[in-house]
Structure 1
Amino acid sequence: MRKLILTSALGASFASPALAATGPFFSLRNTDFVVLLGFLLFLAILVYFKVPPVLGKLLDKRAEGIRDELDEARALREEAQTLLASYERKQKEVAAQAELIVANARKEAEAAAVQAQADLKASIARRLAAAEDQIASAEASAVKEVRDRAAEIAVAAARTVIAQQTSAADRDRMIDESIAEVGAKLH
Structure 2
Amino acid sequence: MLVAFAEEGHAGEINPLLPTLPDLVWGTLAFLIILALFVWKILPNLNKLLDARAEAIEGSINSAEAAQAEAQAALEKYTAQLADARAEAGEIREKARADGSAIVAEMREQATAEAARITSNAHAQIEMERLAALASLRSDVGSLALDLAGGVIGETLSEDAKAQAVVDRFLAELEASEKARS
- Report the TM-score range of the alignment, normalised by the length of the smaller protein: 0.5 to 0.7
Q: Which moved more, 1:143-152 or 1:30-39?
A: 30-39
Unaligned 5+ runs, structure 2: 163-182
Counterpart in the other structure of 2:63: 76
1:23 corresponds to: 6
Q: What's the CA shift for 1:36?
A: 4.8
In the alignment, the residues of structure 1 paired with residue 75 and residue 27 of structure 2 have an alpha-carbon distance, to the nearest angstrom, of: 63
Cα distance in 2, alignment partners of residues 40 and 28 from structure 1: 21
Instruction: Provide TM-score, normalisation by structure 2.
Output: 0.60
* Regions of 4+ moved over 3 Å: 27-30, 34-39, 154-166
d(CA) in 2 for partners of 1:30 and 1:38?
Answer: 17
Query: Shift of residue 126 of structure 1?
Result: 2.8
In the alignment, the residues of structure 2 paired with residue 65 and residue 107 of structure 1 have an alpha-carbon distance, to the nearest angstrom, of 62
Residue 24 to residue 130, structure 1, CA distance change in 2 (3 Å): farther
- Aligned match of 2:85: 98
Alignment of 1:2-151 (within 5 A): 23-24=6-7, 29-33=15-19, 36=24, 39-40=27-28, 42-46=30-34, 50-151=37-138
Where structure 1 has 5 or more consecutive residues not aligned to the other structure, the ranges are 1-18, 172-187
Q: Closer, same or farther in 2 for the Cα pair 1:38/1:87, shift >3 Å?
A: farther
Aligned-residue offset at 1:134: 3.3
Q: Which residue identity does 2:19 align to in structure 1?
A: F
Q: CA deviation at 1:86?
A: 1.0
Deviates more, 1:30-39 or 1:126-135: 30-39
Residues 154 and 37 of structure 1, relative CA distance in 2, 3 Å threshold = same
Q: Give the 3-state SS of the residue equivalent to 2:19 in structure 1.
A: helix
SS of the residue corresponding to residue 148 of structure 1 reads helix
Aligned counterparts of 1:145 and 1:28: Cα–Cα separation in 2: 162
How many angstroms apart in 1 are the aligned matches of 2:112 and 2:76? 53
How big is the alpha-carbon RMSD for the aligned residues of Structure 1 and Structure 2? 3.9
Supply the distance in 2 between the matched residues of 1:32 and 1:124 (Cα, whole angstroms): 125
Displacement, 1:93? 1.1
| Number of equivalenced pairs | 149
Partners in 2 of 1:82 and 1:38 — Cα distance? 61
- The normalised TM-score by structure 1 is 0.59
What's the secondary structure of 2:122's corresponding residue? helix
Q: Which has the higher contact order (CA 8 A, sep 6+)?
A: 2
Q: CA deviation at 1:125?
A: 0.5
Q: Determine the C-alpha separation between the residues in 2 that align with 1:103 and 1:39.
A: 89
